[in-house]
Amino acid sequence: EISECLVGSEMCKETAIDLIATDHAPHADYEKAKPLTEAPSGIIGLETSLALGNEALVDTGEFDDAAADLHTMNPAKLYRLDAGYLAENGPADLVLFDPAKEWVPERFYSKSQNSPFLGQKLKGKVEYTICKGKVIFEV
């Protein structure tokens, strides 16, 4: 059971939520410019997911700080990936996230820009992404 990996979090264990993920399948502007019934479904969510989860779950008191497990350890465990944890000689794939930093997304790094969160103030910002020990994204 996925919930087993939520160590030390009674709040998270009592919910029906095992993990949070985004389906990162970006589409080009011309594809999303079609009428709603013809355009590929979905919005860009990868770049706002942690901030939105932070605001909706942690800041409201619905979850404690172990809500990060829903984005990290739990998906890795479900897909049997060697990821989602910190350990000596581990994969060193990290996202450094400042839960207090406010920001306004004006443009996304992804191909598409279709999001209701463009121009909206969010709380919680990814500052660095580290892959195999190397910084690949830095604000």
Residues recognised as catalytic: 23
Three-class secondary structure of residue 39 per DSSP? coil
Three-class secondary structure of residue 15 per DSSP? coil
Residue 75: how many other CB atoms lie within 10 Å:
18
Residues in contact with 29: Cβ distance below 8 Å, sequence separation at least 6, in sequence order: 111, 112, 113
d(CA 80, CA 133): 21
d(CA 19, CA 17): 6
